[in-house]
Each structure stands twice: as structure tokens, then as C-alpha cells.
């Protein structure tokens, strides 16, 4: 078991090395819009999971996740050797690439929050123009003693 602080530092260093290698050394055009978001390493420092996301060319285009996954899979050996050179650990960890779903989930949550804000605004508009149903004062008022005397006579 490695020290948790050491594992954290090593995972951060792995993500930096992989991101730099993708940007500067690997010439695959499918990796052009790939961003490394995080890396996690097991407690024994033998396996590393690298999380990535793919950004679209512009707002209208869809990201090419299958192409990026295939490109990362083909560059796995080169990236692992770069990690081994850059970290200097005795055993270079194996790399596993996983698509990061956090940006998609965040976008979905933002859409849900926007819908909730619209529903709240619509409810506030309806409440501003609403009136209470029935009498303005629906509770029975106690009789005055003067009215009681007139009924008895």
C-alpha cells in the first residue's frame, strides 16, 4: 500500500503527462479535441484510470467519442512509456481510458434547473393575478351582544 498523498500526487502527475503527450507528441487528428479531466490510481500504484472528455468543434457539432476512444487505445503504449519516463516509479502503471460523463451530466442538470426556473416564474405570474375563492373572511364572526338582545324580544 502506498501513501494516499503519494498516490494523489502520482495521479495528478499522470494526468499532466498524458495531457501534454496528447497535445504535443501524438499526431492523431482524432485526439485534437480530447481533454484529460482527471486520473485515479489504485492503492498499489499498478493501475491508473485516466478520465477524458471530447469537445465538439463548435456548438452544433457532436463530439466524436468513439474516434477518441479508438485513438487513445492505439496510443496507450506510447502514453504509458511517457508516464514511465515522467514519473520515475519502479513499476509504470497500466493506463485505462474512461470517457468522463460529468460535463454531460452538468449540462443535463443545468437544463433541469432552467426548466424549474421557468416553472417557478410561471407560478409566480399566476399567483400575482390570483384571488382567493369564497368570502374574503371565511370564518364565522361571534355575534355582538346587541344583536342577541334584539332577537330575544
Q: For the chain, give every domain's residue range.
A: 4-101
Predicted TM-score (pTM) of this structure: 0.69
Cβ neighbors of 33 (< 8 A, separation 6 or more) are 54, 55, 56, 57, 63, 64, 68
Residue 15 CA to residue 23 CA, distance in Å, equals 12
Rama region for 134: left / alpha / beta (φ>0; ψ in -120 to 50; rest): left
pLDDT along the chain (153 residues), means of 10: 85 94 90 91 92 78 85 92 90 92 86 95 88 73 65 54
- Cα–Cα distances in angstroms (integers) from residue 44 to residues 3, 114, 117, in the given order: 9, 44, 47
The stretches of 25-142 forming alpha helices (DSSP H) are 65-74, 76-87, 102-128
Residue 7 CA to residue 45 CA, distance in Å, equals 7
- Give me the residue label for grid cell 416564474: 121
CATH number of 4-101: 3.30.300.20
| Residue 59 host element (H or E) | none
Amino acid at each position: 500500500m502506498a501513501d494516499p498523498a503519494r498516490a494523489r500526487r502520482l495521479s495528478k502527475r499522470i494526468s499532466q503527462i498524458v495531457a501534454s503527450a496528447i497535445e504535443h507528441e501524438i499526431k492523431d487528428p482524432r485526439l485534437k479535441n480530447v481533454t484529460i479531466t482527471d486520473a485515479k490510481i489504485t492503492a498499489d500504484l499498478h493501475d491508473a484510470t485516466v478520465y477524458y472528455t471530447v469537445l465538439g468543434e463548435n456548438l452544433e457539432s457532436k463530439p466524436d467519442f468513439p474516434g477518441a476512444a479508438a485513438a487513445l487505445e492505439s496510443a496507450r503504449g506510447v502514453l504509458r512509456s511517457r508516464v514511465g519516463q515522467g514519473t520515475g516509479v519502479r513499476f509504470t502503471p497500466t493506463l485505462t481510458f474512461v470517457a468522463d460523463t460529468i460535463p454531460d451530466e452538468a449540462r443535463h442538470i443545468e437544463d433541469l434547473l432552467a426548466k424549474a426556473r421557468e416553472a417557478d416564474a410561471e407560478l409566480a405570474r399566476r399567483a400575482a393575478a390570483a384571488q382567493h375563492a369564497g368570502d374574503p373572511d371565511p370564518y364565522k364572526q361571534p355575534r355582538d351582544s346587541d344583536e342577541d338582545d334584539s332577537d330575544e324580544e
